[in-house]
Amino acid sequence: MESPKTADIAHIGRSVIIKGELSGSEDLYVDGQVEGTIELQGNSLTVGPHGQLRADVNAKNVIVHGVLEGNVKASERTDLRKSAVVTGDIFSQKIAIEDGAYFKGKVDIQKETPKNTHSGVKPETPAAAGNGPERASSPVVAAAVAAASSSTNTAPGDKTPVTEQKKF
Amino acid sequence: MATHSLMRLFRGTSVETGTNVRGSQKERLTRKSSGMNELTRVMRSEDTLCVLDIGSTSATNIRYLTELGHKPYSEDLLDASTDPSLITRDENGQQSLDSKRFLSENLTYPAAQFDVVMCWNLADYMDETLVKPVVARLWSVLKPGGALLAFFHTQEAGVDAPCYRYHIVAPDTLEMQHIEAHKDLRKGPPGAIQNSSPAGFKLQRVFNNRHIENLFRDFGSIKFFLTRDNVREVLVVR
């Protein structure tokens, strides 16, 4: 798959490694390595075939061609292509999984949220890095420094322990 | 049924409001399933059920379950069992798999999490050292009263019985798709474990009724459904 060439999409190349919180207000294409969280509320995230993400993702649409380890929250659609390897829970309105994709986790289909709120309660907004009074349209901001090295550290997985074991 | 017909017409595609199946697909065979029909009665509950599918990732199953309003969990245990790092040797030098390590990395759920577990033909194709520990773990993650569906080949199926993954297309109908052990970039080359080869998974054993009863002895009840294609369907309840 060729990476998108439009100027409207931010692009993280194969050699780039990012550790930390990634947030922005434009579409993002990741073909490198990201460890941390990705916040793209209202925009789309595409994980390229060489992309390796160990991150929780929050976006409007999430399309995965590569490896994603983490939970996915997509307000509209999640797309796992045939080369995708996804480990984590998916919360999405719609999900499409191509034959050949690998998925380990839970699927929670979210109904479309109503536009009106009840009792004056404001709808929840996901936490985002760099909160301020206003967030003007801006390019993707990495909270951590991107390194061009090829080595990565593996963070220990976060697994729920089994509290009861039936012995034979 | 309309969806099933649509899928046959437009091979490799389907249109659904919640979930799509796309991309190239190998030929699928259709079979009726009494066990699945029985299980469907459980899944027609109005409550949201937690359903664990430990077969190969199946978009069809995810769609089927989400459309019923349930929460599907997917975990391909057969694929996970081919991890080369699981290989160990006992004091006699015999090769086996590290079941403790396997269970530390797979099926790591809280106790009594699931209402339904779809085991499919896992026990027939999984390495012997893992079968009993996995069944024990499944018992613990099933809720009391939860149901588990499993398939076992009969002797007549033969040693070359292909390993299929199962897709639920109707309350009593499954589609079978031949599984090929594919290269997993995360885990290394295929064929690292004796139960798999580039052509697919090999039948490891044939369970008779007594073996199956023994395997599920900690479950409260067991029901057998005999089919025409040399497969025994078993529904057990914790």
In chain A, where the domains are located: 12-112+138-142
**What is the band of A7 on the pLDDT scale with cuts at 50, 70, 90?**
low
User: Residue B2 domain-assigned?
Assistant: no
Asked if the model's pLDDT at residue A138 lies above 60, the reply is no
Q: Which residues of A touch B66 (CB under 8 A)?
A: 95, 107, 109
Question: DSSP string spanning A8-26?
Answer: TEEEE-TT-EEEEEEE-SS
CATH number of the domain within which B67 lies: 3.40.50
Q: How many C-beta atoms lie closer than 10 Å to residue B212's C-beta? A: 18
User: Residue B192 domain-assigned?
Assistant: yes
Q: Which domain holds residue B205?
A: 33-237
Q: For chain A, say whether B74 makes contact (Cβ under 8 Å).
A: yes
Asked if the model's pLDDT at residue B93 lies above 70, the reply is yes
Cα dist. B111→A42, B15, B107 in Å?
37, 36, 10
Asked if the model's pLDDT at residue A55 lies above 50, the reply is yes
**Are residues B19 and A163, on separate chains, in Cβ contact within 8 Å?**
no
> What pLDDT is recorded for position A2?
56
A94 closest CB neighbour out of B18, B26, B132: B18
- Structurally, chain B folds into a number of domains equal to 1
User: Residue B17 domain-assigned?
Assistant: no
At B150-181, the pLDDT tens digits run 999 887 777 788 889 999 999 999 999 988 66
User: Residue B133 domain-assigned?
Assistant: yes
User: Residue B98 domain-assigned?
Assistant: yes
User: Residue B61 domain-assigned?
Assistant: yes
User: Residue B131 domain-assigned?
Assistant: yes
Q: Which residues of A touch B57 (CB under 8 A)?
A: 97, 101-104
> What pLDDT is recorded for position B179?
80
* The two three-digit tokens of residue B65, written as one number: 């379950």
- What span, in angstroms and rounded, lies between the C-alpha atoms of B16 and B62? 12
> What pLDDT is recorded for position B116?
96
**What is the band of B148 on the pLDDT scale with cuts at 50, 70, 90?**
very high
Nearest to A30 by CA among A75, A82, A65: A65
**Are residues B66 and A96, on separate chains, in Cβ contact within 8 Å?**
no
At B36-85, the pLDDT tens digits run 999 998 888 778 999 999 999 999 999 999 999 999 999 999 999 988 88
- Selected for mutation to probe chain B from A1, A52, A87, A99 (highest B CB count within 10 Å) is A99
Yes or no: say if A61 and A77 are a contact pair by the CB < 8 Å rule: yes
Yes or no: say if A10 and A27 are a contact pair by the CB < 8 Å rule: yes
Asked if the model's pLDDT at residue A120 lies above 90, the reply is no
Given 3-state DSSP classes, what are the helix, strand and coil percentages for chain B, each rounded to the nearest 5? Answer: 30, 30, 40
